[in-house]
Amino acid sequence: MKIRNKTFVVTGGGNGIGRELVLQLVRKGARVAAVDINENSLQETKGMAGEFGIYISLHKVDITDRKTTEALPNQVIKAHGSVDGLINNAGIIQPFVKVNELTWPQIDKVMNVNFNGMLNMTKAFLPFLLNRPEAHVVNVSSMGGFLPVPGQTIYGASKAAVKLFTEGLNSELLDTNVRVTVVFPGAIGTNIAINSGVMTKEQQETQDNVKFKMTAPDVAAQTILNGMENDQYRVLIGSDAKAMDFFYRLNPKRAAKLIFDQMKSLLH
């Protein structure tokens, strides 16, 4: 689906990939409803849009709150007249610890934001998207959604759920006007660990020294939008995600061991 003159909803629009998605969408001629739990971050995103800021509406929303998300489509339509696409980008990671050391509140938070939040948004907007001449749903999973990462097991489980949900949704919508894309980012240079509340800035800098080639958020956003415009079934972001997607299909056990060797220094 082409971007120009369409209206998109982007979750996690206050930082990282979500911010870049908002900025690139409006520069390509779209209108955007930027959704985030942090109002100050949303304001920063709009400010960065400059003259294109008039095409952005800001929505401070906790996507885990079902009643709030159910009310959002009418707010977006009131602001922009219609809604043509939903990009479920918002997500958090867990503390870098083993499952046995995670608390139930930590587990619930990751599952609620990454899976239930995405599900709430999809259920809220899908009836409206089905009434459009053409529409698109993009759900951001993760390389960790198809490859086990020690210390991120619950995060990976939540993103694996996003993966299979998105693939199932695609199959259910094959005979409709709504196309569906699932995205698998590898290591992206964002502040997700800080924003998730699991790392300080200093700890983030230590993680950044682990030898991973990170993809810049603007490149990730551009890759997602290109995939959407080309109606791609799945989008892999970064050389790491592409390489591990191949390796994991070829030899799952060896691929898992490779990731363990790379990540064990971060595991508390």
State residue 267's pLDDT score.
Answer: 76
Residue 192, domain extent: 7-266
Report yes or no on 121 lying in a domain.
yes
pTM for this model (two decimals): 0.91
- Give yes or no for residue 80 having a pLDDT over 90: yes
Report yes or no on 81 lying in a domain.
yes
Is 233 noted as a catalytic residue in this protein?
Answer: no
Under the banding of pLDDT at 50, 70 and 90, the label for residue 262 is confident
The pLDDT tens digits of the residues spanning 158-213 come to 999 999 999 999 999 999 999 999 999 999 986 545 544 454 445 445 444 445 57
CA nearest neighbour of 82 among 73, 70, 94, 72: 73
Report yes or no on 199 lying in a domain.
yes
**Full DSSP string of 59-88:** EE--TT-HHHHHHHHHHHHHHHS---EEEE
CATH of the domain at 152: 3.40.50.720
Q: Considering 55, 155, 233, 248, which one is annotated as catalytic?
A: 155
Report yes or no on 1 lying in a domain.
no
The count of structural domains within the chain is 1
* Out of 84-98, 141-155, 204-218, least confident range: 204-218
Report yes or no on 2 lying in a domain.
no
Q: Quick check: helix, strand or coil at residue 193?
A: helix
